[in-house]
Structure 1
Amino acid sequence: MAGTGSGSLPRYIAQRVLLVIPMIWVILTLVFVVLRVAPGDPISAAVGGKLDADALAQRREALGLNRPMIAQYWDYLSSVAHLDFGTTFSDNQPVLRVIRDNGGATLSLTMAAFAIALLVGIPLGLVAGRYRDSIGDVVIRLFGILTYAAPIFFVGFLLQVYVAQPLGLPTGGASSPMTAFLVTPRTHILLIDVFLSGNSDAILDVLKHLLLPAVTLGLLICGVFIRLVRVNILQTMQADYVEAAEARGISRGKVTRHHALRNALVPVVTVIGLQFAMLLGGAVLTESTFNWPGLGQKLVDYINERDYGAVQGIVTIFAIAVVVVSVVVDVVNALIDPRVRY
């Protein structure tokens, strides 16, 4: 029996890793097809006012857009397999450079937002489950519903008007111009670069700029964690081992913290991959609302310019990131909950 159980984990991990290939292939195909069936000429839309007809024709030929669709599709798959995500049409630079220069800001925002969602959602879910049907439970559930349902740009606007101005917090950008001038870019992740610089004023400035966008995006998914933790706390508190612990004289609060909460967090780990996808989607709106210099803001700019070379590359990166995170979450979930291996 022990050998069967130990062998199930490597087999499960291998199955999840192998599933990445068809998942990514389907995503790449959808991105390619959706962008190609959009009406209009992307080259004319991107640089039509800057080049004459001959130059536009040469640009289309250089980018391979005059080739048969199946040939373009094969070139696209081959390029992605070699980690080449194409070139932007509007400013003619590699998409990987755009990702390198702007991806750090999006990564900082999503990680900070995710931390806020966990720090807010898990304790509130615990309190709501612990004091079921109380006034606090009703208020917390209402808060979770509102944060999940409220449009993210509207929440950002409210924070800018009613929080940023009274507290003197910045309402846009990732840092002040002076901080950007003083800090040497080493990792292309500003939050890490300012800590490496050791400049306390620059660190405080970057954290101030990060606070409101991270809170806005974090509120988007904290309601999911509130509901998950609450429901699973209620289910776990009815388990036999919880009743046995209470019968031995252990206080209900201690049983909730040390026994029920641990099991209630298993479903939270399960949905982290899905919430990561929601975070990336929310990052697009959050970055636009706060003029945050990340991939979401660049994606909106390129969409407005009809630059589907850039859109295709950035969306592909987002999709691959979501798939990889989902697989990692599945593996971690299998490690902490052996039931999912079978």
Structure 2
Amino acid sequence: MSSGSGSLPRYIAQRLLLMIPMIWLIVTMVFILLRVAPGDPVTAAVGGKLNEEALDARRAALGLDRPLIVQYLDYLGDIATLDFGKTISDNRPITSIIVDNGGATLSLTIGAFAFALLMGIPLGLLAGRYRDSAGDVVIRIFGVVSYAAPIFFIGLLMQIWVAGPLGLPTSDIASPITKFQVEPVTHILLLDAIIAGDTESTVDVLKHHVLPCFTLGLLLSGVFIRLVRVNLLMTLKGDYVEAARARGIPERYVIRRHAFRNALVPVITVLGLQVALTLSGALLTESTFNWPGLGTQLIDYLTARDYAAVQGLVTFFAVVVVVVSLLVDVINAAIDPRVRY
């Protein structure tokens, strides 16, 4: 094997090349699935609101009157320039929806990951450290239940049982007065409130984040609990751990300095895979908590049967998942050289 076959730049180049056909396949599937749906998308979205002449004009503006192959090639060209099209129902650019509402989904996702890691990693380490104990059984049951429980059901329980005693808001990303006062600079409301130096608004936004982020974080924590536990058990069987024990190193130091650190390496790999799960969970979380993110927008356009909007948002979600997976793979390859081969 050549010396450069395992180099990081070569690995990144290979992953970039693989990303192109992956994105092409996803966007092609989205295009085809929405085109085989019965009915005319313009009529489905705004039929009965416009006369036939106006409907024809809307079809022409969206390019739906052209041959299918021309629509497909135009669609690929638009995606290449990050143009995800326009909605049918309100003729709004998808890019503006992503800019205006993407920050809410991003803050929800980051907050959920933070809760998931804070819950999943310590519980997984404890379960693996005290294998087959009563605590291990309880933690494993918690991991299974948190992963399998319907997220909207958990959200409703949080609103009923937790919001009242803790004085937490049950819906929206902030109070109306906060959204009015904070100027949208980054379109991430929490970050905008911090930039503005508005402590009261920052606290208000943080309070609104607690329940949605914790609810979605519960779903992800079950994955991390099982992953960390299994990898810790495998690590504890490693030769270097046995060698450390043979040298008389106390068990707590063996686990802390050798086993724990190596058991956490696979978590980085799984982070990219959990992005798709997080986005799918965000749809229900945003709907449950009336969160003004992309998931809420997607559900609204699905209800309105606006297939152009659905196509643009689903394509954007797919591209995000592929790009994040690429970044995680690169980080993992930089940490563990064995991944490059």
Q: Return the TM-score normalized by structure 2.
A: 0.97
- What is the deviation of 1:197? 1.5
Amino acid at match of 1:201: E
RMSD: 1.3
Does the alignment pair 1:214 with 2:180? no
- What is the deviation of 1:53? 1.5
Spell out, residue by residue over 1:192-228, the C-alpha distance to the aligned partner (whole angstroms, 9 max, x if none): 0011111211111101101110011111111111111
How do 1:88-237 residues align onto structure 2 when only pairs under 5 Å count?
88-237=87-236
Amino acid at match of 1:99: I
Higher alpha-carbon deviation: 8-17 or 289-298: 8-17
- Provide the residue aligned with 1:293 in structure 2: 292
- Provide the residue aligned with 2:14 in structure 1: 15
- Provide the residue aligned with 2:262 in structure 1: 263
- Provide the residue aligned with 2:303 in structure 1: 304
Spell out, residue by residue over 1:48-93, the C-alpha distance to the aligned partner (whole angstroms, 9 max, x if none): 1321111111211221112111111111001111221100111111
- What is the deviation of 1:42? 1.4
CA contact (8 A) 2:6 2:340 kept: no
Spell out, residue by residue over 1:158-183, the C-alpha distance to the aligned partner (whole angstroms, 9 max, x if none): 11111012212111000001111111
Secondary structure at 2:3 match in 1:
helix
Higher alpha-carbon deviation: 240-249 or 8-17: 240-249
Amino acid at match of 2:95: L
- Provide the residue aligned with 1:319 in structure 2: 318
Does the alignment pair 1:277 with 2:290? no
CA contact (8 A) 2:6 2:337 kept: no
- What is the deviation of 1:308? 1.2
Inter-CA distance 81–5: structure 2 relative to 1 (3 Å threshold)? closer
How do 1:241-260 residues align onto structure 2 when only pairs under 5 Å count?
241-260=240-259
- What is the deviation of 1:146? 0.3
Does the alignment pair 1:52 with 2:48? no
After TM superposition, the runs of 4+ consecutive aligned structure 1 residues lying more than 4 A away are none
- What is the deviation of 1:254? 2.1
Secondary structure at 1:4 match in 2:
coil
Amino acid at match of 1:246: R
CA distance in 1, matches of 2:179, 2:14: 45
CA distance in 1, matches of 2:75, 2:234: 49
Spell out, residue by residue over 1:113-166, the C-alpha distance to the aligned partner (whole angstroms, 9 max, x if none): 011111110000000000000010000000000000001111111111110122
CA distance in 1, matches of 2:69, 2:132: 59
- What is the deviation of 1:246? 2.2
- Provide the residue aligned with 1:333 in structure 2: 332
CA distance in 2, matches of 1:322, 1:269: 15
- What is the deviation of 1:7? 5.0
- What is the deviation of 1:6? 7.7
How do 1:17-56 residues align onto structure 2 when only pairs under 5 Å count?
17-56=16-55
* Same amino acid, percent of matched pairs: 68
- Number of residue pairs aligned between Structure 1 and Structure 2: 341
Q: Return the TM-score normalized by structure 1.
A: 0.97
CA distance in 2, matches of 1:6, 1:18: 16
Amino acid at match of 1:59: R
Higher alpha-carbon deviation: 239-248 or 189-198: 239-248
Amino acid at match of 2:320: A
CA distance in 1, matches of 2:49, 2:24: 35
CA contact (8 A) 2:45 2:304 kept: yes
- What is the deviation of 1:255? 1.7
Secondary structure at 2:38 match in 1:
coil
CA distance in 1, matches of 2:306, 2:11: 40
Spell out, residue by residue over 1:225-252, the C-alpha distance to the aligned partner (whole angstroms, 9 max, x if none): 1111101111111112112222333222
- What is the deviation of 1:324? 0.5
CA distance in 2, matches of 1:231, 1:5: 33
> Gaps spanning 5+ residues in structure 2: where?
none
CA distance in 2, matches of 1:193, 1:226: 34
Amino acid at match of 2:3: T
CA distance in 1, matches of 2:198, 2:230: 45
